[in-house]
């Protein structure tokens, strides 16, 4: 199974930005941990990050016929990017939305995801472990598609 992990704006600043919310783990450490976990789960992953909405849309569109699933942390685009929502719907690849913090326990404007309705699920509030949870969930989902 081939999975694309897409990280949106400011995720590249993990370990630097708002450590009380996002923790001390750097983006590089996150990527290494995800590669280790993917290997243990027998998943083939690619990880990308962009601060630019159009690039994220291009990554999602280019995932078509290449990836079995997408895991996305859209960052702040979560709350207003209909374009990313449309891209996920257009390619029709199973997608899981991930957030390091619990977006429902934050500022009011962060409590709404316009991306989630395009996804098979959402994981929020488990720190960087949420990505691993998403990989486990995606693997289970893809292995059991015929039983859904």
> Is residue 22 annotated as part of the catalytic site, yes or no?
yes
As a whole number of angstroms, the distance between CA 43 and CA 106 comes to 32
Question: Is the domain defined by 2-147 classed in CATH 3.40.50.10140?
Answer: no
Quote helix, strand, coil % in the chain, to nearest 5. Answer: 50, 20, 35
> Is residue 104 annotated as part of the catalytic site, yes or no?
no
As a whole number of angstroms, the distance between CA 140 and CA 99 comes to 20
Identify the band that residue 7 occupies on the pLDDT scale cut at 50, 70 and 90: very high
Q: What is the pLDDT of residues 93-145, one digit of tens each?
A: 999 999 998 888 877 877 889 999 999 999 999 999 999 999 999 999 999 98
Annotated catalytic residue within 59, 77, 85, 99: 99
As a whole number of angstroms, the distance between CA 144 and CA 76 comes to 32
3-state secondary structure of 6: strand
- Is the pLDDT at 72 greater than 80? The verdict is yes
Annotated catalytic residue within 22, 67, 77, 131: 22
The domain locations on the chain are 2-147
pTM assigned to the model: 0.93
Contact 45, 87 (CB under 8 A): no
Q: What is the pLDDT of residues 37-48, one digit of tens each?
A: 999 999 999 999
More confident residue, 78 or 22: 78
Burial 77-94 (b: 16+ CB within 10 A, else e): bbbbbeebbebbeebebb
- Containing H/E element for 35? helix 27-40
| Residue among 108, 101, 79, 112 nearest 17 (CA) | 101
């Amino acid at each position: 199974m081939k999975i694309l992990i897409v990280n949106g704006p400011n995720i590249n600043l993990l370990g630097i930005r708002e450590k009380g919310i996002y923790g001390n783990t750097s983006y590089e450490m996150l990527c290494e941990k995800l590669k280790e976990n993917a290997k243990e789960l027998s998943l083939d992953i690619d990880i990308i990050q962009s601060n630019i909405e159009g690039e994220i849309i291009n990554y999602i569109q280019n995932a078509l016929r290449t990836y079995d699933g997408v895991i996305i942390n859209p960052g702040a685009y979560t709350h207003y990017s209909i374009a990313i929502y449309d891209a996920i719907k257009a390619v029709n690849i199973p997608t899981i939305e991930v957030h390091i913090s619990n977006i429902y326990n934050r500022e009011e404007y962060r409590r709404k995801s316009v991306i989630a309705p395009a996804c098979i699920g959402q994981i929020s509030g488990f720190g960087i472990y949420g990505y691993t949870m998403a990989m486990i969930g995606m693997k289970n989902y893809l292995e059991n598609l015929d039983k859904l």
